[in-house]
Amino acid sequence: MGPKALEVVIARRELVAPEHVELYFSHPALKEAVPGQFAHIATVGTLRRPISFSRIGEAGEAAVLFRVVGRGTAWLAERREGEVLDLLAPLGRGYPPPDPGRPWCLVGGGVGIPPLYAALGKWGRGMQSMATVILGARTAAAVLMADDFRALGVEPTITTDDGSLGERGTVLGPLRRWWQTHPEGQVYACGPTPMLAAIARLKSPGGRLYLGMEQRMGCGVGACLACVVPAAGAAMPPWRRVCSDGPVFAAEELRLD
């Protein structure tokens, strides 16, 4: 089943960190949502804003967690419980279910963390002992969802650029160590493109790597080509649409440098 135009009522609003808001809602059509997929949300102006699902429940419960960066997200952050949101959802291609036989590492930077929490929430039961979570942020206050990951039974490894929480530096340090001890492992990553490009360079040849891309978007459904990124090798067409071919790609599909 494809994406639908949905009207959802905000059931809960939470300020989860300075300038970071999570909105909860539910709709039967969201039962089909896959971690890594997104909602294209009407805010101000004509362009919708894409936000990944941070939570996906079996009965269609869902949430989005976003950082206020401009006009659209500022409008969204002002919404209150009981108000209605206009969504196109679920959109795009999400993460594949993890291979239960391989160690699994989820690596998120900033607002790339929420879709990985949705993935562990959906697929993590019984895989806690196989799962490693690495969360990176600029500073302690921007480390998102650490307690949510703990509640699923996985203690996250945290890195901050300024050293205010966890290891000083980026997610690359702990991830490099993880690849060394788990060369056949599977990594699900999401975050800013420079972080994903660096992660792709670290990939061990026997491992699997899936990247959740964030890109400026227009239509959100594959028609306008506002969101294209270069494809790897001699693929035709030489680009991929983040909104409809992604936002999740196997690392081999893209040319990130």
Ligand X SMILES: Cc1cc2nc3c(=O)[nH]c(=O)nc-3n(C[C@H](O)[C@H](O)[C@H](O)COP(=O)(O)OP(=O)(O)OC[C@H]3O[C@@H](n4cnc5c(N)ncnc54)[C@H](O)[C@@H]3O)c2cc1C
- Taking CB under 6 A as the criterion, the residue among 127, 141, 226, 231 binding ligand FES is 226
| 244 near ligand X (CB under 6 A) | no
CA nearest 89: which of 62, 115, 108, 120?
A: 62
Q: Which range touches ligand FES (CB under 6 A), out of 22-30, 92-100, 163-171, 220-228?
A: 220-228
Which residues does 246 contact at the CB level (< 8 Å), separation at least 6?
Answer: 92, 93, 212, 213, 229, 240
185 binds, among ligand X, ligand FES, none (CB under 5 to 8 A by kind): none
The DSSP bridge pattern shows strands 61-67 and 167-168 to be: unpaired
- Residues 143 and 18: their CA atoms lie apart, in Å, by 10
Under 8 Å between Cβ of 28 and 62: no
- Residues 107 and 158: their CA atoms lie apart, in Å, by 10
Q: Which is nearer to ligand X, 12 or 176 (CB)?
A: 12
- Taking CB under 6 A as the criterion, the residue among 60, 68, 218, 235 binding ligand FES is 218
70 binds, among ligand FES, ligand X, none (CB under 5 to 8 A by kind): ligand X
Residue 236, CA distances (Å) to 12, 222, 230 in order: 44, 16, 10
Under 8 Å between Cβ of 182 and 203: no
Question: Which residue type sits at 190?
Answer: C
73 binds, among ligand FES, ligand X, none (CB under 5 to 8 A by kind): ligand X
3-state secondary structure labels for all residues of 110-154: HHHHHHHHHHHHHHCCCCHHHEEEEEEECCHHHCCCHHHHHHCCC
CB count, 10 Å around CB of 248?
26
Residue nearest to ligand X (CB): 70
| 230 near ligand FES (CB under 6 A) | no
- Taking CB under 6 A as the criterion, the residue among 13, 27, 49, 208 binding ligand X is 49
Tallying the residues shown for the chain, one arrives at 257
Q: Which is nearer to ligand X, 67 or 102 (CB)?
A: 67
Window 70-89: residues binding ligand X (CB under 6 A): 70-73
How many residues of this chain bind ligand X (CB under 6 A)? 21
224 binds, among ligand X, ligand FES, none (CB under 5 to 8 A by kind): ligand FES
- Taking CB under 6 A as the criterion, the residue among 247, 249, 251, 254 binding ligand X is 247
CA nearest 143: which of 109, 120, 176?
A: 109
- Taking CB under 6 A as the criterion, the residue among 23, 25, 63, 66 binding ligand X is 66
| 88 near ligand FES (CB under 6 A) | no
Binding mask 234-253 for ligand FES (x = CB under 6 A): -------x-x----------
| CB 77 to ligand X: min, Å | 9
| CB 171 to ligand FES: min, Å | 27
